């Protein structure tokens, strides 16, 4: 199926890729807003394979409990009768991206045994420099990067990694770094980290606005159902799920054998039940968050009052809810924060509708 919309974001990302590496680039947005679909469209259909070598690392399904787990994810082992560059050349003929940086098996074992990040990073730099010498631009893309945020090795791994990314981009201009994340607290952490000021750019991949969402419904209904939906039905879909691409796709696909109202009511009922159980849970637990070194307990009443602010507004300022409360609600995937604009909103229209129904 033809990729829909996102031309503005695609143009921005391609402009970055066609320029000299300068900054770490973060693509962020709420859950299921289409970040991975966007980057895959660029990798598969918008890049010239003769000019670029893409390493795409998706941490979503990876179990990462220690430093070695993350390092192994970055690499793809091979028998050492060929150089990394020869391996890359043989693979990129048929593949839009590589799923790890080629490394001889013995070399990877040696690097892991030494437990020193600088040796691992030095190897990566050498591989990227050889790609550059071969006339191609390396691009490293890491999806769901926030999964390493709490891993520790000689301090937080995240700080070592970002120092390395700054070296690759702003200092060496060697490799484009693109990180994807739906974790807005992780984005806030990166945004507020002093060492990254002036070294990171942010690209928001948001849910569609209403006009785009209605066009997306037309696009999907014609491709999946071979028909157009009435304006009333399109408005009804939007009133339930808003501009969340994944939710719209789900609804249109289900229309092949189910009634529209039934589909939408089932989705909303499911979201209401999740919110109801969340609120009931607050009667039996003491919600708490850690900010800095302090553990802060949160009252159920404060959480409910915060959610009530969304009865009449889809977006509010992060100044309107205390930091511990919105952090807790973000961690529970109820709210999403755009730290660049200081805006809080429900993770989806379905969550918003559930809030309005229950409170």
Measured CA to CA, the distance from residue 241 to residue 251 in angstroms comes to 9
CATH topology of domain 7-204: Rossmann fold (3.40.50)
Q: Where are the domains positioned within the chain? A: 7-204, 210-258, 277-358
Question: Residue 28 to residues 4, 38, 56, 142, 180: CA-CA distances in angstroms?
Answer: 18, 11, 16, 12, 6
Q: Cα dihedral sign for 228, 234, 236, 241? A: positive
- Give residue-wise pLDDT tens across range 150-178: 665 555 678 888 999 999 999 999 999 99
Q: In the block, which residue shows the tokens 């409170």?
A: 359
The model carries a pTM of 0.93
CATH of 277-358 given 3.40.50.2000, 1.10.10.10, 1.20.1260.10, 3.30.300.280? 1.10.10.10
- Give residue-wise pLDDT tens across range 239-283: 999 999 999 999 999 999 999 999 999 999 999 999 999 999 999
Q: In the block, which residue shows the tokens 């006009």?
A: 211
For residue 113 the two structure tokens come to: 């045994």
Return the bridge partners of 54, or none: 139
pLDDT in tens, the chain (359 residues): 678 889 999 999 999 999 999 999 999 999 999 999 999 999 999 999 899 999 999 998 788 877 778 888 999 988 777 889 999 998 888 888 999 999 998 888 888 777 666 788 999 999 999 999 999 999 999 999 888 876 655 556 788 889 999 999 999 999 999 999 999 999 998 898 878 989 999 999 999 999 999 999 999 999 999 999 999 999 999 999 999 999 999 999 999 999 999 999 999 999 999 999 999 999 999 999 988 889 999 999 999 999 999 999 999 999 999 999 999 999 999 999 999 999 999 999 999 999 999 99
Give phi and psi for 27, each to the nearest 5.
Answer: -100, 115
The DSSP annotation for 154-176 comes to: SSBHHHHHHHHHHIIIIIT---E
Give phi and psi for 304, each to the nearest 5.
Answer: -65, -45
Instruction: Say if residue 302 is exposed, middle or buried (CB neighbours under 10 Å; 0-12, 13-18, 19+).
Output: middle
> For the chain, how far is it from start to end, CA to CA, in angstroms?
40
| Cβ atoms 203, 52 nearer than 8 A | no
């Amino acid at each position: 199926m033809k990729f829909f919309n996102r031309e503005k974001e695609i143009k921005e990302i391609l402009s970055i890729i066609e320029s000299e590496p300068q900054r770490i680039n973060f693509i962020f947005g709420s859950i299921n807003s289409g970040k991975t679909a966007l980057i895959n469209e660029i990798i598969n259909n918008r890049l010239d394979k003769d000019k670029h070598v893409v390493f795409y690392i998706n941490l979503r399904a990876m179990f990462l409990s220690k430093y070695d787990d993350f390092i192994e994810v970055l690499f793809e082992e091979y028998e050492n009768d060929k150089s990394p560059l020869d391996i890359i050349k043989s693979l990129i003929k048929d593949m839009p991206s590589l799923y790890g940086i080629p490394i001889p098996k013995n070399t990877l074992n040696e690097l892991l045994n030494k437990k020193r990040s600088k040796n691992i990073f030095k190897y990566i730099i050498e591989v990227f420099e050889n790609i550059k010498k071969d006339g191609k631009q390396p691009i490293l893309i890491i999806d769901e990067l926030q999964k390493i945020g709490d891993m520790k090795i000689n301090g937080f791994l995240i700080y070592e990694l970002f120092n390395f990314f700054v070296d690759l981009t702003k200092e060496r201009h060697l490799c484009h770094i693109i990180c994807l994340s739906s974790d807005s607290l992780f984005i806030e952490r990166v945004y507020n980290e002093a060492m990254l000021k002036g070294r990171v750019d942010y690209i928001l991949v948001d849910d569609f606005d209403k006009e785009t969402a209605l066009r997306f419904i037309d696009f999907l209904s014609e491709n999946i159902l071979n028909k157009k939906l009435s304006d009333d039905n399109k408005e009804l879909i939007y009133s339930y799920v808003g501009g969340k691409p994944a939710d719209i796709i789900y609804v249109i696909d289900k229309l092949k054998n189910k009634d529209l109202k039934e589909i939408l009511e089932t989705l909303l009922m499911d979201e209401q039940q999740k919110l109801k159980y969340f609120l009931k849970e607050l009667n039996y637990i003491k919600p708490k968050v850690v900010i800095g070194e302090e553990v802060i307990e949160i009252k159920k009443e404060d959480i409910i009052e915060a959610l009530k602010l969304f009865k009449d507004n889809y977006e509010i300022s992060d100044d309107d809810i205390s930091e511990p409360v919105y952090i807790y609600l973000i961690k529970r995937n109820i709210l999403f924060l755009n730290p660049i604009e200081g805006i809080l909103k429900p993770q989806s229209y379905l969550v918003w509708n559930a809030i309005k129904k229950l409170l």
